[in-house]
Amino acid sequence: MARCEVCFHRCEIPEGGRGLCGARTCADGRVIPENYGRVTALALDPIEKKPLRRFHPGGMVLSVGSYGCNLRCPFCQNHEISWSAEAMSYAERADKVTPEALVRTAVRLKGEGNIGIAFTYNEPLIGWEFVRDTARLAHEAGLASVLVTNGTARLAVLEAIAPWIDAMNIDLKGFTNRYYSKVLGGSLDMVRAFIEAAVRTCHVELTTLIVPGENDTADEMRALSAWVAGLTDAAGRPIGREIPLHISRFFPRFKMTDRRATDVSRVYRLADVARERLEYVYTGNC
């Protein structure tokens, strides 16, 4: 048995077993990423789809996903590869790709406007070793590396990958401990700490999905955007007002079909609230 130290769950994993994320296992008494190089999704996407609006706008990026996640968002749009029973079956049937092969593919796609590789779709930090190894090779090939993450990881994980990550979109799913712990199975404190550190290493944009009855009040958005506005760089200079925030509309899916899609007017209203503090606020799924 060994203890995983990627996130706050700190799973004790028996030999041959898996942690809560479904992607880390114990082999010979140590925790390793079972999903290393196991690819479930690969697509050339517009960079704006990540979403990143202020990083190489108009560019394309080779997006790659694996399986597993360390949160339990009941509305997950990628549940087939995140934490459903189907997702866990990918341990045996997902294609195996080496970092070298993935980078070669990304280089070949430069002619189609590809700027690099985005680690996305499932939660990439639960397989951070593959992110590190691939991003390092991508940099050597003159490619950018993008991380799309829920930010639920210890700072040691960020430090291990930061030298090779050029941009991140990090979910800041809400701004109450109740929502993070009771609904998402996560830790707001860990995400906030991750964001505070990440903005000092690379370009960062944030995303908040507005779920009716959960995180959709003006007061919560005002608190969230005020916290973002107060973020600083490594030298202590204020940079938060210029961090882009994407406010997205919820649609019922997976295990949360008990409510309607978020009213478009509510998304626009919350975006206006965020603009009281932030320079770059975008709306999505509207």
Condensed to tens digits (0 to 9), the pLDDT of residues 230-278 reads: 999 999 999 999 999 999 999 999 999 999 999 999 999 999 999 999 9
Has residue 91 got a pLDDT over 90?
no
| Cα 47 → chain centroid | 14
User: How many other CB atoms are found less than 10 A from the CB of residue 33?
Assistant: 21
Mean pLDDT value across residues 144-170: 98
Distance CA 66, CA 94 (A): 8
pTM > 0.75: yes
Kindly provide the b/e burial profile for residues 72-91, where b requires at least 16 CB atoms within 10 angstroms of the residue's own CB. Answer: ebebbebbbbbbbeebbebb
Mean pLDDT value across residues 108-134: 98
Quote the percentage of the chain above a pLDDT of 90: 95
CATH superfamily for domain 2-284? Aldolase class I (3.20.20.70)
pLDDT at 142: 98
* Sign of the CA dihedral with 40 first, then 123, 156, and 234 last: positive
Q: Please, which pLDDT band fits residue 86 given cuts at 50, 70 and 90?
A: confident
pLDDT tens digits, one per residue of 180-208: 999 999 999 999 999 999 999 999 999 99
* Segment among 80-94, 108-122, 222-236, 258-272 with least mean pLDDT: 80-94
pLDDT tens digits, one per residue of 158-183: 999 999 999 999 999 999 999 999 99
| Cα 3 → chain centroid | 23
In 3D, which of 95, 77, 2, 259 has the Cα closest to residue 11? 2
pLDDT at 95: 86
Quote the percentage of the chain above a pLDDT of 70: 100
Average pLDDT of the chain is: 97
Collapsing DSSP states into helix, strand and coil, what is residue 178? Answer: helix
